[in-house]
């Protein structure tokens, strides 16, 4: 179906090339409302990735983007955020059907040392009160689990990066309708969530995991919050671009696993996760937002 978004969103041209129906105004009383807190440095890429998934769903969705005022952006102009995004004050007391909180490159920073941590806590409180279901992606998953349940973030020495298959544990979860025994998702992170830290928390349930990368998705049992350690939104070339970026910085990054054909980073990867990601988002919308 289509999207109803701010006319200044930078990803509009890319979305139209993908035949996503874009609307700026009109009578969309039956459309769902989704809020996205975009914490990623490259706003355009993340806008495009998430809006593409939402725009390929089966319903019209009004999407608002949110930014944190307490952080000075380095890669995006403040003027752009002020005209294309909203602040928490502007959406105060507004109900949303769904919310997505993105990751951020902050794994090695203590939560209390993050410049916008206090504002993020207020936003998470807001989501608990005014949003039916919130998805926390990658770093946001550990931030949300720490704030909501005091579950610690565990830093690992070797980066988890690549495309991984995960066993579906929560077979009865509507998130996996249409999937059989596995779900494939990209990962790019230096942290892990340990099962012993959540074993005694009755509100949480592990829904999918992998022997290679550990817990993938866990959720509150009624779907109020869904924590995903990977990046289902990533485009085909996202991991490739991250790998090239790190090499250009003089780093020696790990080659993403199960990604480049024959581990040749000059070859265009095949997208093996898109259908699973779209199914996951469609199920989230159908069973938790509608």
Rg (CA), the chain: 18
Place of tokens 């975009």: 38
Number of domains in the chain: 1
Based on the residue annotation, tell me whether 233 is a catalytic residue of this protein. Answer: yes
Q: Of the residues 166, 187, 233, 276, which is catalytic? A: 233
Say whether 69 counts as a known binding-site residue.
no
Based on the residue annotation, tell me whether 138 is a catalytic residue of this protein. Answer: yes
Percent of the chain with pLDDT over 90: 89
Average pLDDT over residues 240-254: 90
Three-state DSSP state, 36: strand
Who wins on pLDDT, 101 or 73?
101
Average pLDDT over residues 60-87: 95
- Rounded Cα–Cα distance for residues 50 and 103 (Å): 12
Q: Which residues neighbour 114 within 8 Å (Cβ) at sequence distance 6 or greater? A: 106, 120
- Rounded Cα–Cα distance for residues 122 and 161 (Å): 31
Average pLDDT over residues 222-232: 97
Domain with 177, as residue range(s), is 2-289
Say whether 159 counts as a known binding-site residue.
yes
Three-state DSSP state, 205: strand
Based on the residue annotation, tell me whether 154 is a catalytic residue of this protein. Answer: no
Average pLDDT over residues 63-83: 94
Residue 249 pLDDT class (50, 70, 90 cuts): confident
- For residues 213 and 258, is the Cβ–Cβ distance under 8 A? no
For the question of whether the overall pTM of this predicted structure is more than 0.85, the answer is: yes
Q: Please work out, in degrees rounded to the nearest 5, the angle formed at the alpha carbon of residue 221 by the alpha carbons of 216 and 222.
A: 120
CATH number of the domain where residue 117 is located = 3.40.50.880
């Amino acid at each position: 179906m289509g999207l109803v978004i701010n006319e200044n969103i930078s990803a509009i041209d890319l979305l139209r090339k993908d035949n996503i129906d874009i609307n700026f105004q009109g009578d969309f009383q039956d459309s769902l409302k989704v809020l996205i807190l975009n914490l990623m440095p490259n706003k355009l890429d993340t806008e495009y990735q998430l809006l593409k998934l939402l725009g390929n769903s089966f319903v019209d969705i009004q999407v608002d983007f949110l930014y944190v005022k307490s952080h000075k952006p380095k890669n995006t102009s403040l003027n752009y955020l002020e005209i294309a995004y909203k602040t928490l004050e502007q959406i105060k007391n507004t109900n949303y059907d769904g919310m997505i909180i993105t990751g951020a490159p902050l794994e090695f920073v203590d939560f209390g040392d993050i410049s916008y941590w206090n504002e993020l806590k207020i936003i998470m409180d807001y989501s608990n009160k005014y949003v039916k279901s919130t998805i926390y992606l990658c770093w946001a998953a550990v931030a949300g689990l720490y704030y909501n349940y005091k579950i610690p973030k565990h830093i690992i020495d070797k980066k988890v990066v690549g495309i991984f298959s995960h066993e579906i544990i929560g077979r009865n979860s509507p998130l996996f309708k249409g999937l059989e025994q596995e779900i494939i998702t990209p990962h790019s992170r230096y942290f892990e969530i340990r099962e012993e830290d959540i074993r005694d928390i009755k509100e949480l349930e592990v829904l999918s995991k992998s022997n290679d990368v550990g817990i993938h998705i866990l959720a509150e049992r009624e779907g109020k919050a869904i924590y995903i350690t990977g990046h289902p939104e990533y485009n085909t070339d996202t991991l490739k671009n991250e790998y090239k970026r790190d090499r250009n910085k003089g780093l020696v990054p790990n080659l993403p696993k199960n990604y480049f054909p024959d581990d040749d980073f000059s070859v265009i990867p095949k997208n093996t996760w898109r259908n699973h990601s779209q199914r996951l988002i469609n199920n989230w919308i159908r069973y938790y937002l509608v």
